[in-house]
Amino acid sequence: MGELWHGLSAQQCLARLGSDADCGLEAGEAQARLARDGANRISGRPPESGFSRFLRQLREPLIYILIGSGALALFLREWVDAAVIFGVVLVNALVGAIQEARASSAIAALARRVPRNCRVLRDRELRICDAAELVVGDVLALEAGDQVPADLRLLAVRELLIDEAMLTGESLPAEKAVESLDEGCALADRRNLAFAGTLVLRGTAKALVVATANSTELGHIAALMDATASLETPLTRRLARFSKQMLVLILALAALTLIVGLARGLPLAQMLMATVALAVGAIPEGLPAALTITLAIGVGRMARRSAVIRRLPAVEALGSVTVICTDKTGTLTENRMAVTHLVAGGREYRPGDAASEGSALRELLLAGVLCNDATPRCEDGVWSFEGDPTEVALLPAALASGLDVAALRAAHPRFDALPFDASRQWMATLNRDAAGATLWIKGAPERVLAHCAARLAADGQSAPLDMAAELGRATVLAAQGFRVLAFAYRAGEALPDGEAGPWTLLGFQALEDPPRAQVPAALARCREAGVRVVMITGDHAATACGIAERIALSRHAPLRALTGAELAVLDGKALGEAVRSVDVFARVLPEQKLRLVEALQAQGEVVAMTGDGVNDAPALKQADIGIAMGRGGTDVAKQASAMVLADDNFATIVAAIEEGRAVYDNLQKFMVWTLPTNFAEGLIIFIAVLVGVSLPITPLQILWINMSTVLLLGLALAFEPGAGALMQRPPRAPREALLPPVLMARICLAGALLVAAAFSLFHYELATGSSLAVARTAAANLFVFGEMSFLLNCRSLTGSWWRAGWWSNRWLWPGMFAMTALQIAFTYLPAMQAAFGTQALTPSSWLSVAVGALAISLVVGAEKAIRRFAALRADSGRVMDRW
């Protein structure tokens, strides 16, 4: 909002907007303002059309080469070749477009946060009005259950409690008042405002509309999201670089092939088809489909671990994460208030400690049961509670210590009550039992203590009150991040009237949103995996730091924390230093969360961001991987995220990172397996032109090899189980090459072996009198069975393939069997022979194919063994040096 309405009095706000608290706006004036300012709807950029998404899939470097090759085949009247090439292009584009279409608009989800109807004061009458027709200056009535339709300045309130967690990140509802506040107070502390999209839990209010549509805090977040571009994942960035490099290499090789062929006097049409064959052979056509399917398999595995992936590239991005920016409430904590500390009679207790009859502990718990508006229910021995989260938390604490809540309320019926008031900061109830009437009080420690003259000792007897000591106990608990409530009582037949007291202090109950039990172990695994964890929350700094210390969040001592107010004054350099060393960022605004994520990314970090509220959405969208809460998260947060935690548990993020690393390993295995074939197919065409012989394989045979082997052989690698010690190695460097030099060397070795074996077999067949069709059929089969033998070596990029387990991949052997059956049909079936220009092979030819394929596997296996041996010697040498 442009104006600092919280700093003005209610009357100043009404005067500035030309409104009246008792009459509201006139209908004509409201219509004029609606025409001027527009409807109360949050809007954003129009979504991209499906056709635009489809066309964008074609703007890839390698796709350009395929389209050009298909056009050239059409020009040369090679209809079948052209149809197959364009078919591959179409399938890849459709897969990509469908994948992107799954992401829904977060702006639309924001718009759904605004309710449809509300109660508006117009022409002195309270009317039901469509929320879209609200204008600045309207006066509204709110009550429990309402969703706030616009940003409001409160004019009058009665026990108003609003859940603002989705906007501010506060774990507790906000208690509202009407008094003006300091202009510099944080968004979460603006008690005299109500914000669009938040929910009224209790009480009633009269309020003035001060901002609508995109001018609200909700609209401000929508604008941040609109301006935030969706980032590419580390994998997509690596693939983009790899595609550009391949584009240059393929074009250079194709041009060189054409020039060499023409220089040798070969016909132009023949050389153009050779160029098409080279381009088609060198391009890994099956890579996009294999990538999508491998990621989809990862999605299924993660879903079984309660991590729901909304965007496929997020699967791999998880494996690259270097920093997790996590919210506190609901992610690191259980998202429920619970009593964890009890102080009675000068002693400290825990819920579950025995409360003997007449003891101070029992009287303290009894006060929490009676001075309480929460409703308990017990069905089949299972308790459930409804009401204010703070009051709800008091009842399980009493039950844990052996008190019968229902029986105590029946034995001490309530006859009167003084509800909580923000200015008074305490509530009271008048209950009677056989001994007479008792006034039970609950409220802020400093306000309750101010009216106390004595306290109960541990044995239940009255004792002198040491005001400073008792206030010190409450202060220590509050400094640790607990919400502290003081309880007192006095005998009497009436509620306090005027000056309250004197009361007898019963003690304190300290509440918190407790950390999840699995979180400390999950944080330890993150440290082991080299992943840093930073807490970013809208909650109070003391609360955030208390939780952070209990779960051992920090990598060092003491814990370093920074508030949103301190963050606001940092320049770019200071912010960069802060994000490297600060563990907890508390009381932060939505734009500050976004700024923190951007600062981390500027330092080369791959950032995962968790959140559940509307205020988290811009940062969730900006992060390399946005993670929303499935149970407690808003629709807006889910729509802006790439992943949703079905169980809202931080430990699930760690499991998903492990799965993401396994997916990346399998993608690398697939690329190491498939690229030698593309390298060999392109090179064998170039060599054939260079030495002036017939092409050993045709473009159509190349497409057959590439697509059939990818589907039946290569995709089996997507089902490889994760290798051991995935979480004992550091994250991949964000700028690390997609394929490191060791793997590139292996790709070149395997490709060279394929070229040598296929070229040798092709010329051997011709030399023994076989036809050109038979020689090409033998070469094509050698490519396929050579890939099959190499596939086994790719199951592990470092060790022997059988160590991965003979039967650990249930798709491997069926895929190899199916590929063998297809190659038999490719070689002998008349329809396949007519389509692909193949002929039947003799047993001796098949023996040559088998020997060549086996040789490829043995040589690559020997190369891995040599590297392992060299690594072991290097490791032992380093150990000896240290010794």
Residues designated catalytic: 327
Reading the block at residue 631, the tokens are: 């149970």
465 within 8 A of 454, measured Cβ to Cβ: yes
Quickly tell me which residue has 């005001």 as its tokens. 467
What's the CA gap between 108 and 639, in Å, rounded? 9
526 within 8 A of 656, measured Cβ to Cβ: no
Look up residue 162 and give its amino acid: I
204 within 8 A of 233, measured Cβ to Cβ: no
Three-state secondary structure call for residue 343: strand
- Residue 548 burial by Cβ neighbours in a 10 Å radius (0-12, 13-18, 19+): buried
| Nearest one of 596, 761, 737 to 672, comparing CA atoms | 737
What's the CA gap between 551 and 531, in Å, rounded? 16
Question: Which region, left, alpha or beta, applies to residue 692 given φ > 0 means left and ψ of -120 to 50 means alpha?
Answer: left
Provide CB contacts within 8 A for 406, sequence distance 6+. Answer: 376, 378
Long-range CB pairs of 847-850, under 8 A, 24+ apart, other chains included? 848/761, 848/764, 848/778, 848/782, 849/761, 849/778, 849/781, 849/782, 849/785, 850/785
What's the CA gap between 338 and 368, in Å, rounded? 13
784 within 8 A of 673, measured Cβ to Cβ: no
What's the CA gap between 581 and 579, in Å, rounded? 6
What's the CA gap between 391 and 371, in Å, rounded? 9
CB-hemisphere CA count at 13 Å for 855?
A: 17
What's the CA gap between 784 and 299, in Å, rounded? 30
What's the CA gap between 466 and 627, in Å, rounded? 49
What is the chain's Cα-based Rg?
35
* Residues in a beta bridge with 438: 431, 491
Quickly tell me which residue has 């009095």 as its tokens. 9
CA distances from 680 to 208, 249, 289, 740, 862 (A): 74, 14, 21, 20, 20
The alpha helices in 377-466, defined as continuous H runs, are 389-400, 405-411, 445-449
* Residues in a beta bridge with 414: 431
What's the CA gap between 643 and 610, in Å, rounded? 9
Reading the block at residue 592, the tokens are: 């500050």
Provide CB contacts within 8 A for 39, sequence distance 6+. Answer: 132, 133, 213
What's the CA gap between 196 and 529, in Å, rounded? 41
CB-hemisphere CA count at 13 Å for 875?
A: 6
Quickly tell me which residue has 């690596």 as its tokens. 238
In 94-150, beta strands by DSSP E:
117-122, 125-130, 139-143
What's the CA gap between 617 and 610, in Å, rounded? 10
Query: Helices 650-691 and 519-528, interaxial angle, to 10°?
Result: 30
Q: How many CB atoms lie within 10 A of CB 425?
A: 14
- Residue 17 burial by Cβ neighbours in a 10 Å radius (0-12, 13-18, 19+): buried
**In Å, how far from its chain's centre is CA 466?**
50
**In Å, how far from its chain's centre is CA 431?**
50
